[in-house]
Amino acid sequence: MNAMTQPIRVILNTREPGFRAKTYLAYAAVFTLAAGDVFRYSVGWWGWGALLVIMFGFTLYYFFTDEPKRVLKQIPWPLTGLLVLMPISIFYSNYPIFSSIASFAQYATTLFALFLAGTFSWRHLLRIFSNVVRVILVASLAFEFVAAAIVRGPIAPIFKNYEGDTPPASAFYWTRAHLFDGDRIQGIVGNSNILAFIAMLGLIVFAIDYAVSATPKWLSAASFALAVSMFCLSKSAGVGFAVAAIAVAATVALIVEGKDRDLRHRIYRWVWASTGVIAILVLLNRAEVFAFFGKTPDMTGRSSIWKKVLVLIFDRPIQGWGWISHWMPGVEPFEGLVVIGSVPYYQAHNAFLDIWLQLGAIGLLLMLALVSITFVKLWRLGVRHTNPLYLWPMLMFFGLLAQNLTESRMLLEIGWVLLVLMAVKANDPEDYLEPRGKTPKRVRLLGRGLRRNQSQPRKDR
């Protein structure tokens, strides 16, 4: 082992003025945006909104007292285009007031993502997401245990999201207490699909955390096992496919590292062809596959939702209906558009259809350009850098894209934060990354030396 491959210890720059306060803000905001229903159900929409306003104020202060110009220069042009198009859509929106509110909320969420990108290194961000995800999963398991073993019945939100004394459908409960009966659990986030998504993030960050950080190995391993358990208990078909895609991406990234360009591209073509064949087989046997996850062959009404959304899209294919992010109850044309089993749905359950619906063809093209450019940059970083640390951004982004083929969470809250964070931080200059070594990641992952690898960036930013 020479100087280039010798691991160096992580030293957090705690002496930087305000570093701890920035870290606490990051933890609080990531948790609030990842588990928003915890606050909406416990302190209500007004309490949740007040909390967001307070955190937005601190984010605004810390962002503009740091190095805003550097981070702003790293914003890719498709993201700039989307952020410009959102307020422009107010002028032709079918709901201009809500488009104004949604545009402001999107800018506030974007600012927080820029704050994360400018303040923390990839290693620091790994630690932040690992700790937040761990707290959410542990709290979710405890919450479900209390509901199933102590309360022995469903728990309704303290601040109701329905009218009347009794929830009109089981989906309105905070949790339905299914921990011991084999049905899907919801956790503190109040939604099985969101809980599965958080567990998916956990599978990624805990695995990388085990390999490269100073976190005790037993804690990372136990956290990974918890993420596996919560993923299985939440039974989300969409996230299940995303996890499968992540596993394939991770395997391919490790295999192609160090290979010449022609061989890499031959492997890529083989993988894409194999993926296409598997997708066709899943489509032909979708009844059996979806039944395994407790879903109908159309993934619990997804196809009917998409058909209705496409009808609206083709009414305004170029300009869209106006930006609104998450559909608002009572707003036309969304009110009553999708109701399944007495439960109204306020998203297209596909982020790309949703962006097309709201911002038209121009918005869709900008989104496709954004995810394509970001994925290529993160893939190159994950494959070409010898430190396994840089696998997690690529894998998390890949999982985000796969999950949002059946959800629209990428357009709001933590989903939008992850999208913007990855798109901006993928443009970090080389000297903000940790030193490269001569040993490929797959060798380091299989070797004992990796367990003690705790590299630190050349700069702490």
pLDDT at 142: 96
Residue type, 134: R
pLDDT at 3: 39
For 303-313, what is each residue's pLDDT tens digit?
Answer: 889 999 999 99
pLDDT at 458: 42
pLDDT at 317: 94
Structure tokens at 400: 């985000």
CA distance 455 to 441: 13
Least confidently predicted of 16-25, 124-133, 196-205, 321-330: 16-25
What's the pLDDT band for 386 if we cut at 50, 70, 90? confident
What is the pTM (predicted TM-score) of this model?
0.90
CA distance 319 to 362: 7
CA angle 380, 395, 182 (to 5 degrees): 165
The answer on pLDDT for 46 being more than 70 is: yes
Structure tokens at 23: 């870290």
Q: Which residue has the higher pLDDT, 350 or 5?
A: 350
The answer on pLDDT for 17 being more than 80 is: no
For 134-145, what is each residue's pLDDT tens digit?
Answer: 999 999 999 999
- In order, the DSSP letters of 74-92 are TS-HHHHHHHHHHHHGGGT
Please, what is the average pLDDT of the chain? 86
For 71-105, what is each residue's pLDDT tens digit?
Answer: 999 999 999 999 999 999 999 999 999 999 999 99
For 234-290, what is each residue's pLDDT tens digit?
Answer: 988 889 889 988 998 888 888 888 777 788 778 888 888 887 787 777 766 666 666
Residue 323 CA from chain centroid, whole number: 20
- How do the domains of the chain map onto residue ranges? 31-452
The answer on pLDDT for 210 being more than 80 is: yes
Question: Per-residue pLDDT averaged across 359-366, rounded?
Answer: 96
Give every CB contact of residue 426 below 8 A, 6+ residues apart in sequence: 374, 377, 378, 381, 393
pLDDT at 214: 77
Structure tokens at 57: 């104020």
Among 188-197, 267-276, 286-295, which range has the highest average pLDDT?
Answer: 188-197
pLDDT at 8: 41
Contact status, residue 294 vs residue 238, Cβ threshold 8 Å: no
Give every CB contact of residue 247 below 8 A, 6+ residues apart in sequence: none
**For residue 428, which phi and psi values (nearest 5 degrees)?**
-60, 140
CA distance 387 to 23: 24
pLDDT at 182: 82
